[in-house]
A = this chain, B = another copy of it.
Amino acid sequence: MADRELSFPTSLGTSDAKQIRLLGQDLAADLMGKVGFGELAYWLVAGRRPTRGEVRVFEAVLVALADHGFTPTAIAARLTYLSAPESLQGALAAGLLGGGSRFLGVTEDCGRFLHDVVQRLPEVPADDQGWDAVALEAVQRARAQDKLIPGLGHPVHKEQDPRTQVLIAIADEEGTRGPHLRLFEAIGRVHPQVLNRALPLNGAGVCGAALADLGLPVDLLRGFALLARAAGLLGHLAEERRNPVGMEIYLSVDRNALYQSPQDQ
């Protein structure tokens, strides 16, 4: 292996003594002060600069997903900060590590489910009636395979998730309400025929649909939920610094520990 063969291509950041380039742009001259942070995050992942409308939808998603109060991930971040306050990166990382299948994966699962249906369509339906037929078949197929339909139902918002209609309206205003959102809406209309009960379209699901309509890779949708959550976790760590509750959480568990013999578990 000769070194001239060592070559690591990238379209992200490079620099020399005079200039820092990012995504082929001059970072200082063309990006700082001219490009928003959400816009840059989109550009970094998609490899193309988003339009103003796409940025608005994208940032609405990030805002929707940033924080949900004392989630397991927020508690894990606070307890890690309590134990290792000198390492803010460790507390943030611990919080993000909970961004897996259960509490943060719905966005990606829903985007992927919709994407799988959409990309198999011979042609895109022309109206809601057409989407309803596609949705009905998709829900029936999932049901026949004993699979969950991601994006349906919410433990707290049992009737309606307040984020859902708002995000659809924003996407509509900005011209990005595409096949993934339309299919998701249709699932919302038809699923009671199959499941025999009406579940709300949840916020994490609608975010996945909206991101997929922006053309972002469905395998990386969880990444945007994580980016959004990084901001929320910084909020928790800032609050933990001002007004700590981590010690109280820890003690409320430790004081209520009950020894049990392994045989009894």
Interface residue ranges, A against B (CB under 8 Å): 1-24, 26-29, 31-33, 35-38, 40-41, 44-48, 56, 58-60, 62-64, 66-73, 75-76, 79-80, 82-94, 96-105, 156-160, 162-163, 165-167, 170, 203, 217, 219-220, 222-224, 226-228, 230-232, 234-239, 241-243, 245-246, 248-250, 252-265
Contacts and interface: CB of A to CB of B under 8 A. Distances in A.
Nearest to A68: B13
B40 A70 contact: no
B238 A33 contact: no
Nearest to A82: B72
Question: How many monomers of this protein are in the complex?
Answer: 4
Given A28-B162, A94-B98, A223-B234, 8 more contacts: A2-B2, A3-B256, A6-B248, A9-B258, A27-B162, A33-B166, A33-B167, A44-B234
Nearest to A245: B8
A92 to B, nearest CB: 6
B85 A87 contact: no
Contact of A163 (B8, B28, B36): B28
A155 to B, nearest CB: 10
Contacts of A47: 238-239, 242, 262-263, 265
A60 B58 CA distance: 19
Contacts of A236: 10, 12
Contacts of A83: 71-73, 76, 98-100, 102-104
Contact of A227 (B16, B105, B222, B234): B234
Contacts of A58: 37
Residue among A18, A85, A230, A262 facing the most chain B CB atoms (10 A cut-off): A262
A101 B7 CA distance: 27
A73 B44 CA distance: 16
Contacts of A84: 87, 89, 97-105
